[in-house]
Each structure stands twice: as structure tokens, then as C-alpha cells.
Amino acid sequence: MKTDLLIINAKELLTLAGTDSPRIGSEMNELGIIYNGAIVVKEDKIIDVGSTEDIVKKYDNPTKIIDASDKVIMPGFVDPHTHPVFKQTRENEFEMRIKGRSYVEISQSGGGICSSISGVRETSEEELYQLAEKRINKIISNGTTTLEAKSGYGLSMESEIKMLKVIKKLNKNLPIDIISTFLGAHEFPVEYKDDKEKYIDILMNEMMPKIRELKLAEYCDIFTEDHVYNIEQSRRILNRAKELGFKIRMHADEIKPIGGAELAGEIGAVSADHLGAASDKGIKAMRDNGVTAILLPGTIFSLGMKSYARARDMIEAGLAVALATDYNPGSCNCDSMQFVITLACLQMKMTPAEAITASTINAAHSLGLGNNIGSLEIGKKADMLIMDMPSYQYLPYHFGSNNVETVIKNGKVIR
Ligand code: NIG
Ligand code: FE
């Protein structure tokens, strides 16, 4: 049979095939490996997967053939938590943290998210687009084929809409899929520091309805933490978001255990992210309500902290665990899911297979895309990577360098 693209002889082909819900517990270790594997693509989809021996008999005259001898083929990375639209980087804060200041102290003395807010407000949509496009091109070179991107550095109607329009345009023009999230509750803007209720009112009754009306975001997110939105404020904002039809993501229990994970369960959030300080009760509430735990070890690493999320306890409790970079100008300027996988293994004791599952199929499910992407199965989108490595364990082992050789999105080689 004739087809468009045939990739053959992969030493390991990681299919991650087999479940139509996120993988939990011991399923996270199952990568569905085909040794000496081959994969067949027609247009943007996978039409066959199997051993090279079987596949070459069936497809004789492909338009393009790639020999992946000694290499690994795997699904493209899905990065379900990033903040790529901003003006200036904040490496000065990185140095301040090395010298002993904490993330919260820096943020309370005018740095942090607030400094990124002035940057976004003063910058044109076009310039923000150019800056983010360059960053996302690097992210793509590191193997990410689907990305979630948040607003949250505008915190006014005008500048939040500007950020979300940038994300929409990035999705349209760049070869990967970019899913947008409204994060108007990322901080309190300086002009409302003394009247937080006023900002919450504008958020719930002006900004959120407008963003829905303009169809600029599918998800609504919030920074639930002691120094930003407390539990009671978060509950009100998220219930309003739900009422307006947003699906919910949360930044929860990153630094202090204030009950963010419990709230994620109560609200029925799609995901709760960070969770370095999540309680046992919170983990259970998330599990019982099908909330995915998105862990961001790059952030803890970059903040120079030790409080990595308890991935082992979460996996053992039967929680669906995913990984993300949290790419942003402040707490984590990391654009590589590969490095996040290394940290997940070394600092949270996830196995290489669990970390790969968390970065592909489970991350895809957290974005509602698990039936389309995240694994290499017949009928799914041909989003995949050819990795210059002899085995999947090599991925976290060989760090600080890009193991990606070829990035394929929707059946086309894009890198
Ligand atoms: O996920 N926690 C809130 N937001 C980002 C940090 C954003 C910033 O510092 O600019 C995060 O870590
Ligand atoms: Fe974040």
C-alpha cells in the first residue's frame, strides 16, 4: 500500500498505547515498547504501527522513508503548564535568590510577577508576539509538540486580552498546537493592592465574561497561595469561572499547604499544579475527583528549594501525574521537557518510564486531548520524536543536552 511517511528500524518504539484514560499507579511504567519498530503516517495521522519486519511487507512505496536505526521513537512532549508571553526576562531575581532572598520576598518588594506586569502593559501585541515566537521555537526544538500557554502578566482587561490574542496568533502561525488559559488571578495588580475585593469583582464580572465571549481561553487558572489568592477568594473566583463555562486549572500548594489541593478536588478542577506542599487529604481529594497532578520540578530546582512534590505518594495513591516545565520569566526559565524528566527522576524518584508517561499521554489527557495525541496508535495524530538515544532510560540519564533529532508534528517534519 502507498503511504506518505514510513519510519523503520527504531531500536525502541514507545507507543504508550493501551488506555483511553490517564495512566495511574503501575500503568505509568508501561510504555508499550515495540523493539525494532516501525510507524506509518498518512497525511497527519498514524495509520499503522508494528515491527519493521511486518510493516515493510505491507507498505512498499512510501513518499518518504526515515531509517531510525539505533534510535528511539516516542510521542512528542505535551507541556501542560507554561507562561511564554512576557517582555523582559528576570535573571536579576535568579541571582538575588542565590544570594539568599526568597521568591516571596522578591515578589513582595516589587519584583516577581508585578514587574512582568508592567513589561506586558507597556509592550505592543506585535512585539510580545515576536518575543514569544522566538521562545516557542526553542521549545519546539526541545521536542514539545503541544503546549498550554497562560495569560496572567496583564491583569487588566486590555492587557489580558492582548496576551490571549498573542497566544491565539502563536497557535495559528506556529506548527504546534497551543492551548490557551486565562490567568487573570495570577497576582493582584498594584493599583488594587489595597482594594483586592475591587479587583476580584472586575475579574469575575467584567474580565471573565468578556474572555468567554471572545472565545479567547478554554481554561481558567489561579495562583492559590498564602501571599496571593487565599482559599476563600479562590473558591469564589473558580466557581464563577465554572459557571461561565471555563474548565479549571490551578497553581496550588506550591509553597505552603493552605488547602489548594483540597479545593481542586472540591471544585472538580482538571488539574492542580505545583503541589510541593500538598497534604495527604488534598492528594486524596484530588484522586477521588479525577484531578490530574501536574508537577513542576524545574520550578523547585530554579527556586533553589528542596520541597519537591511527593510524586511517589501521589502515584501510590492512584493519582494521575503529569509533568510540565512551568516555563516563565521568574521562577523557572526552562524550555526543556527533557530536563524536567531528569529532575522528576532524580529529585522525585519517578522512574524514567513514569516520567515519560507523565510528559506525554497523561499531560495530553490533562488538556482533554488524550484521545488525539500523547501516544502512538492507529488513528491518532502523527506527533512524534526521533530521539538520538539507544533506550528510553537514556533520556533522563543524558541531561543538559538535546536528545531530540527530529520533531514530527501532524505528520510533517518540523525540525
Ligand atoms: O507557576 N506561580 C505562579 N506563577 C509562576 C511564576 C510566575 C512568575 O514568577 O513570573 C509559576 O511559578
Ligand atoms: Fe505557573
Which ligand sits nearest to residue 117's alpha carbon? 1
Ligand 1 center from residue 299 Cα (angstroms): 9
pLDDT at 91: 97
Ligand 1 center from residue 302 Cα (angstroms): 11
**Are 375 and 349 within 8 A, CB to CB?**
no
pLDDT at 79: 99
Closest atom, ligand 1, to C-alpha of 299:
12
What are 202-238's pLDDT values in tens digits?
999 999 999 999 999 999 999 999 999 999 999 999 9
Closest atom, ligand 1, to C-alpha of 103:
9
Ligand 2 center from residue 276 Cα (angstroms): 13
**Are 391 and 30 within 8 A, CB to CB?**
no
Calpha distance 380→300 (Å, rounded): 34
Residue nearest (by alpha carbon) to ligand 1 atom 6 = 331
Mean pLDDT of all residues in 47-62: 95
> In this structure, which residues have their CB less than 5 angstroms from ion ligand 2?
326
SS3 194: coil
- Closest residue by Cα to residue 19 from 8, 30, 33, 9: 30
- Which helix (H) or strand (E) segment holds residue 413: the answer is strand 412-413
Residue 42 CB partners (closer than 8 Å, separation 6+): 3, 4, 5, 411
Q: Give residue 380's identity as a one-letter amino acid code.
A: K
Residue 61 has pLDDT above 90, yes or no: no
Residue nearest (by alpha carbon) to ligand 1 atom 3 = 223
How many degrees, rounded to 5, is the angle at CA 194 between CA 191 and CA 195? 85
- Which helix (H) or strand (E) segment holds residue 262: the answer is helix 260-267
Mean pLDDT of all residues in 261-281: 98
What are 129-161's pLDDT values in tens digits?
999 999 999 999 999 999 999 999 999 999 999
Q: Percent of the chain having pLDDT more than 70?
A: 100
Per residue in 117-149, is it b (16+ CB within 10 Å) or e — as a string? bebbbebeeeebbebbeebbeebbebbbbbbbb
What are 4-27's pLDDT values in tens digits?
999 999 999 999 999 899 999 999
Calpha distance 379→371 (Å, rounded): 9
- Closest residue by Cα to residue 196 from 150, 247, 234, 154: 234
Residue nearest (by alpha carbon) to ligand 1 atom 8 = 330
Q: In whole numbers, what is the pLDDT of the chain averaged over residues? A: 97
Please give the model's pTM, rounded to 2 decimal places.
0.98
pLDDT at 215: 98
Closest atom, ligand 1, to C-alpha of 251:
2
Question: 2 falls in which pLDDT band (50, 70, 90)?
Answer: confident
Which ligand sits nearest to residue 120's alpha carbon? 1
Ligand 2 center from residue 324 Cα (angstroms): 9
Give the pocket of ligand 1 (CB within 6 Å): 83, 112-113, 116, 223, 251, 254, 299, 326, 328-331
Residue nearest (by alpha carbon) to ligand 1 atom 12 = 331
pLDDT at 208: 98
Mean pLDDT of all residues in 334-350: 98
Place of cell 484521545: 371
pLDDT at 110: 86
Question: 60 falls in which pLDDT band (50, 70, 90)?
Answer: confident
Question: 67 falls in which pLDDT band (50, 70, 90)?
Answer: very high
What are 98-121's pLDDT values in tens digits?
999 999 999 988 899 999 999 999
Place of cell 519498530: 37
pLDDT at 258: 97
Calpha distance 238→13 (Å, rounded): 41
Ligand 1 center from residue 103 Cα (angstroms): 10
Closest atom, ligand 1, to C-alpha of 81:
1
Mean pLDDT of all residues in 46-64: 95
Sign of the torsion angle spanned by Cα atoms 295, 137, 176, 9: negative
Which ligand sits nearest to residue 186's alpha carbon? 1
Question: 65 falls in which pLDDT band (50, 70, 90)?
Answer: very high
pLDDT at 1: 87
Number of other residues whose CB lies within 10 A of the CB of residue 55: 20
Calpha distance 59→67 (Å, rounded): 15
Calpha distance 41→24 (Å, rounded): 29
Q: Which domains does the chain have, with CATH numbers?
A: 5-75+372-413 (2.30.40.10), 78-366 (3.20.20.140)
**Are 292 and 241 within 8 A, CB to CB?**
no
Mean pLDDT of all residues in 77-95: 98
Which ligand sits nearest to residue 103's alpha carbon? 1
C-alpha cell, 171: 497557535
